[in-house]
Each structure stands twice: as C-alpha cells, then as structure tokens.
Amino acid sequence: MRPSAPLTRLLTAAALVAALGHVPGATAQTLTATQARQVALWLKQTKRYAPGRWGVAIANQQGDLLWSERATEPFTPASTVKLLTTGFGRTRLGGTARLATRVIADGTLDSLTGEWVGPWALELNGDPTFERATREGRSLSELAQQLAEQGVRRLSGPLRVASETGTPDDGYPTTWAPAHWGRVFAPLVGAVTLNENIVWLTIGPASKKGAAPLLMNSAPEGLNALVSMHARTVAGYRSSLAVRRMADGGFLVTGTMGQHARPRRLVSVSTDPKAVLAEAWARALRDAGITWDREHRIENRTPSDSGYVLAEVMSAPFDSIATEVNTRSLNIGAELMLRWAASGSGTGGAELTAHVAEVTGIPDGAHLVDGSGLSHEDRVTPGTFISYLAKFPSTPAGKNFPMLLPANGEGTLVHLKSGLPAPGVVHAKTGTLSNVSTLVGYLGRPDGVMLISLMYNGGRVHTAKRQQWKLFRLLGADGVVIPSDSTPTDDESEQLGGEVAR
C-alpha cells in the first residue's frame, strides 16, 4: 500500500531533521521568492495593524538567516526568556535531576511512646510542583506518612525550616515591577513553595441568615487558623465575597453570601509561605495520626546544622518540570529553575546571561536579570534567539530540547491549534507583557527545521500576537511534525546530571 501524502511528509521530515542535524545531499533550506514576498507583505501589514518596534529573524536549522529585520537590536523578550532558562538548567543540572523535600532531625525515637526526642526540621528546596491541589506533585502528607510508618507518634517544639541552598526565605524579586506584587502570576519566590505559593479558599453559605459563611476547604489544606471570616450569610442565591491578605500572613474574607448560593473559590497569593507551611504541616501530621506539641514560632535551621533524613520525597525530573513551566508559562517555576541551576547564589541572571553568550558566541546579545522574563529590564536580540535555537541542541545538554517547549495547540500555543497540518509542527515559546509580544521557536518543514524569532515592543500586544500566529501558519502550511531525538543512554544521563540536585 502506498503511504498517504501526510504520512510521506512525516517520514521525510523524520529523516531530514532528526536531532536538528543537516543531512548531506538534502535540499538546502531557503525561502522561495514567493515566500520572501509574502513575509515582506506580512510585515508591512503587521506594522500597520500593530505599530511599534518589530524584530524578525527567520533562519535555517543551522542558524543562517533567510530573512530578517532588526535582528541585532535588543528587545524586551518577556516569557521567551524561559526557553533560555530551560537550556541553562539543563546544562547545569541535567534533564534527570530532582529536588528533594525532607524531614531532617537529630535525636532518637522513644520506642515505647513513639515520641521523637530531639530537634527536627522541614527542608524545602524550591520544588515548584510541591503540595499542589489539582496537579501532580509530592506532598506534606507523604512526608508525614513516612514518619508514621517509622513509628513516630509525637513531635514537639517549633517548626524549623531549612534549605540546602541557603536561608529558606521567600521574597518578591526586585527585578519584577512593583505593580505585579500580589497578582497570581507573580507570587513570592523561594525555597518554601506550596501550591505555587497560591492559596485557594472554598467558601460555602451557613445554614442560617446572619451567620458567617463556612470555610469548606483550602489549598494547601489546613489553613483554617489563617482565615478570618468577616462575611455574613444573606437571603438569596448571589454572593459578593472578597479576600484580603493580612500583614500577619493570614487572610480576611469579607462580603456577603447567599444562603442558597453555590460554594465560591477565592484565590490569593501567600504573603507568608512559612505560615502557610506551618498550618499545612500540622494538618498533614494530624491526618497521619501524629500529635504535634507545637510551639507557635517558626525558626530557620542553618545548613551547617547536623542531622539525618527521617523522611524524603523527590520531585519530578527537571525535564518534566521545565516542560510544564514552558507550557503554562509559569513564572514562579522559571524563577525556581534558575535558582536551582545557580545553586541559590543570587547571581542567576548574570549566570544565565553568560550561558547564552557562551552557547551563541554573541557576547552582547542578551542581558537577563531574571529567569521568567517578567522583568522589563531583560533584553535579547532576535538573532541571539536564532543562534541559541540552532546551537543549543548540539550541546551535550541539548538532546530533545525542542520537545521541552509546547507544541502548537497546547498550553500557550493553543491558538495555533488550527491552520497547521498537525500538532508538533511547531515547538515554541510565547512571551507577553503589557507592551511586549514575542514568539520564538522551531517550525518543521519538508526541507528541515526552520527557526523563527518574532519580537514586538509596542502598544498593540494582542494584535501583534495574532499577526505572529499568522506568519507561523503561512510558513507552516505544508509543515511536518518535528521528531524527537533518540533517548539518552544511562551513561549520557549520568553525565548530564544525577538523580538528585543538591
């Protein structure tokens, strides 16, 4: 049976673009004269629809420019920085590296009473997937259950918090705009991260009018002590509730809730992740049958303290975390990846900038101050992105790099679901700020993988984004699915990073 035309294109593409390498004898990648005119017309119309500053770079899979405008000028990149952070983390840690969350302790277990005699601490190291309500990730309950399985029935003393990368304190990145503070896409960043440092409160009406509504559940679980309910139940089906962050790390719920209203979820960022940790840990211990004679204070435990591991859970591998961070464009996840790769040194932006220069060979092509791209201080040229896309996959850490970026039709590329032959024709990263729209990535074509960098700084962000989708559809009308590389061997995986990044 003769293969269908789409299948033939897929098989041809797999042979041509495996590992993003050049195939001797293959047709040279280029833009036809018609395509070049189409790109020029696209840009002319785009500038009319979305006036501002545009940078465009289109290249073959070796990084040779086929069409460009302002390719060497710096632009604010927004979240396309995350693909650079992914490469930096891959290089430093390896795709198999994992983060540990532990209970560490000194002392002994009284076998008769089940009481742990001696100090103990929770060690958190910035796992962005830890203690999440609706997504995969490890939990405090797993740690508490491990303690119970070892015979621990009672703990005492304050909560002590530790981190292998330094002081376990969270903060708002100084490079992020103050206007973003308190918004769910810009929570506090640090070693203590639970549910991405977002708090969900599910509120239900009381049975009697005039009574306070009920906190039905929370994420993380067990936050009742942090919630002050100053709302009241009224007649009817309507609700008007609001949640306010308090200076002590708690949450104030105000407004009214109809007696017959459905439960409402209120969402806020955590202003004191350690306070949230203490309440969630108390709940996890209680559910595991462990009594905590709690002293209501929280202390930092220094990394130099002695101790051994009583319980431990491991995060998903770096590649899994990076794929989710890029697909969802998760800012806290990208910042924690940078912190992880830079060993919490506080110089992550400078180290990321140096990494990009080393890979691309362009010394002044990027200036980066964060790992997420949420900062307006970041600068990257379109040509630097092209060079990185071309060169990083051939580095020891670069296998399957395009697969760590969302494919057309998923995540932030959901609007590229139509107009292309199949999912996986594109693997790319978007970037959006109040005056920024960028789209950078790989486009599979019959003659090889095309590299595209589209950068816009101006006031018509949503229009610019639609125009960027339009160009990808134009150049990918006969596109082919980009294949993954071969799976690294055990030896290669070991060279790229161990099971635990410490």
Per-residue model confidence as pLDDT tens digits over 399-433? 999 999 999 999 999 999 999 999 999 999 999 99
Query: Both tokens of residue 56?
Result: 């465009």
Pair (30, 119) in one structural domain = no
Pair (20, 138) in one structural domain = no
If you search the block for the tokens 């220094």, which residue do you land on?
Answer: 302
Q: Within a domain: residue 501?
A: no
Confidence at 306, pLDDT banded by 50, 70, 90: low
CATH classification at residue 187: 3.50.80.20
Q: Is the pLDDT of residue 226 over 70?
A: yes
| Residue 375 C-beta-side C-alpha neighbours within 13 Å | 20
If you search the block for the tokens 């400078």, which residue do you land on?
Answer: 350
Output the pLDDT for position 489.
37
Q: How far is CA 375 from each of CA 102, 184, 187, 271, 388, rounded to the nearest angstrom?
A: 32, 16, 14, 20, 21
Output the pLDDT for position 501.
30
More confident residue, 1 or 359: 359
Q: What is this structure's pTM?
A: 0.91
Q: Within a domain: residue 54?
A: yes
Pair (109, 159) in one structural domain = yes
Q: Is the pLDDT of residue 491 over 70?
A: no
Q: What is the extent of the structural domain holding 187?
A: 100-193+272-314
Q: Is the pLDDT of residue 228 over 60?
A: yes
Stretch 220-246: mean pLDDT? 97
Pair (107, 57) in one structural domain = no
Q: Within a domain: residue 350?
A: yes
Output the pLDDT for position 105.
95
| Euclidean distance between CA atoms 431 and 85, whole angstroms | 14
Beta bridge partners of 369: none
Q: Is the pLDDT of residue 455 over 90?
A: yes
Confidence at 332, pLDDT banded by 50, 70, 90: very high
List, for residues 102-123, the tens digit of each pLDDT value: 999 999 999 999 999 999 999 9
Output the pLDDT for position 180.
95
Pair (70, 118) in one structural domain = no
> Contact, 199 vs 269, CB < 8 A?
yes
Output the pLDDT for position 166.
80
Pair (405, 327) in one structural domain = yes
Q: Within a domain: residue 124?
A: yes
Q: Chain-wide mean pLDDT for the chain?
A: 91
Q: Within a domain: residue 120?
A: yes
**Helices 273-287 + 140-149 axis angle, to 10:** 40
Which of 235, 250, 269 lies at the terminal end of a domain, its last residue?
269
Output the pLDDT for position 9.
38
Output the pLDDT for position 449.
96
Pair (338, 405) in one structural domain = yes
Q: Within a domain: residue 502?
A: no
Number of H helices, E strands in the chain: 11, 20
Q: Is the pLDDT of residue 12 over 70?
A: no
Q: Is the pLDDT of residue 494 over 70?
A: no
| Euclidean distance between CA atoms 206 and 201, whole angstroms | 15
If you search the block for the tokens 């591991």, which residue do you land on?
Answer: 309
| Euclidean distance between CA atoms 456 and 110, whole angstroms | 64
Question: What percent of the chain stands above pLDDT 70?
Answer: 90
Q: Domain total for the chain?
A: 3
| Euclidean distance between CA atoms 321 and 95, whole angstroms | 10
Query: Both tokens of residue 191?
Result: 């070693």
| Euclidean distance between CA atoms 438 and 472, whole angstroms | 12
Pair (151, 300) in one structural domain = yes
Q: Within a domain: residue 370?
A: yes
Output the pLDDT for position 305.
63
Stretch 274-281: mean pLDDT? 97
> Contact, 436 vs 129, CB < 8 A?
no
> Contact, 194 vs 249, CB < 8 A?
no
Say how far residue 283 (Cα) sits from the centre of its chain: 27
> Contact, 252 vs 230, CB < 8 A?
yes
Rg of the chain in Å (alpha carbons): 26
Stretch 330-335: mean pLDDT? 98
Confidence at 303, pLDDT banded by 50, 70, 90: low
Q: Is the pLDDT of residue 1 over 50?
A: no
Output the pLDDT for position 304.
56
Pair (149, 78) in one structural domain = no
List, for residues 84-97, the tens digit of each pLDDT value: 999 999 999 999 99
CB atoms within 10 A of CB 356: 25
| Euclidean distance between CA atoms 275 and 296, whole angstroms | 10
Residues 6+ apart with CB under 8 A from 216: 202, 203, 204, 263
> Contact, 117 vs 156, CB < 8 A?
no
CATH classification at residue 362: 3.40.710.10
More confident residue, 17 or 234: 234
Task: With H, G, I as helix, E, B as strand and everything else as coil, classify residue 178.
Answer: helix
Output the pLDDT for position 490.
38
Question: What percent of the chain stands above pLDDT 90?
Answer: 86
| Euclidean distance between CA atoms 307 and 97, whole angstroms | 23
Stretch 194-202: mean pLDDT? 98
Which of 210, 241, 269 lies at the terminal end of a domain, its last residue?
269
Output the pLDDT for position 6.
37
Pair (228, 276) in one structural domain = no
List, for residues 252-267, the tens digit of each pLDDT value: 999 999 999 999 999 9
Which amino acid makes up residue 383?
Answer: G
Pair (337, 326) in one structural domain = yes
List, for residues 13-67, the tens digit of each pLDDT value: 444 344 454 433 345 789 999 999 999 999 999 999 999 999 999 999 999 999 9
Q: Within a domain: residue 248?
A: yes
Output the pLDDT for position 20.
53
Pair (305, 405) in one structural domain = no
Which amino acid makes up residue 175?
Answer: T
Stretch 183-195: mean pLDDT? 97
Confidence at 3, pLDDT banded by 50, 70, 90: very low
Confidence at 144, pLDDT banded by 50, 70, 90: very high
